[in-house]
Amino acid sequence: MSETVIELLEPDRVQLYWPEIVRQLNECPQVWRKWWTLDALYDAAAAHYIQCWAVGTEDSIHGMAFSRITELPTGSFFQVFLSCGHGLIEKADEIEATWERFADYHNCVMAEINGRPGWERVLKKRGFEKTSTTMSKSLTKAKVN
């Protein structure tokens, strides 16, 4: 059995694995399609505006995530804003250690993970606390007479 790899994809690897990433994204469109397009995710990851992470083996991707580092007056924070795929919970120890090293390297003082409600239980066991609730609603353009 192949060893699990958690890799921050450089632009050339984003391009190489993009068809597989799209396949993963298309399994969970409800998680991202309100806010992102495939082109916007690709362009942002290829430009290093956001980070694209792959979780899998040397041969295939089983899960993926997108993150960003945000600079605020009180310090930088590492935010995972989109993840989907298989095996993320099972590999949570390795993923968390990888992301913590990455965040530490970038002098982040906090980590934040946005996800579906089921992740709250998993993340609480890892020291995360609920700091807010995000709810969204589609808005329609107001008609001006």
Work out the average pLDDT over 64-81: 92
Average pLDDT, the chain: 86
Torsion of CA 16, 107, 86, 120, to 10 degrees: -150
Residues 6+ apart with CB under 8 A from 77: 69, 70, 108, 109, 110, 111, 112
Three-class secondary structure of residue 102 per DSSP: helix
Task: Tell me if 42 sits within 8 A of 18, measured CB to CB.
Answer: yes
Q: What is the pLDDT of residue 128?
A: 75
Report the interhelical angle of 11-26 vs 38-46 (nearest 10°): 160
Task: Tell me if 4 sits within 8 A of 91, measured CB to CB.
Answer: yes
Which helix (H) or strand (E) is 17 found in, with range?
A: helix 11-26
Topology (CATH level 3) of domain 5-124: Aminopeptidase (3.40.630)
> 34 pLDDT band (50/70/90 cuts)?
confident
Cα 104 from Cα 12, distance rounded (Å): 25
The full set of domain ranges for the chain reads: 5-124
Check pLDDT > 90 for residue 47. Answer: yes
Query: What are the backbone angles phi and psi of residue 41, rounded to the nearest 5°?
Result: -60, -45
pLDDT digits (tens, 9 = 90+) for 4-27: 789 999 999 999 999 999 999 999
Work out the average pLDDT over 109-114: 88
**CA-to-CA separations, 141 to 113, 120, 138, 144, in angstroms, rounded:** 31, 34, 10, 9
Q: The pTM is what?
A: 0.83
Check pLDDT > 60 for residue 1. Answer: no
Check pLDDT > 50 for residue 39. Answer: yes
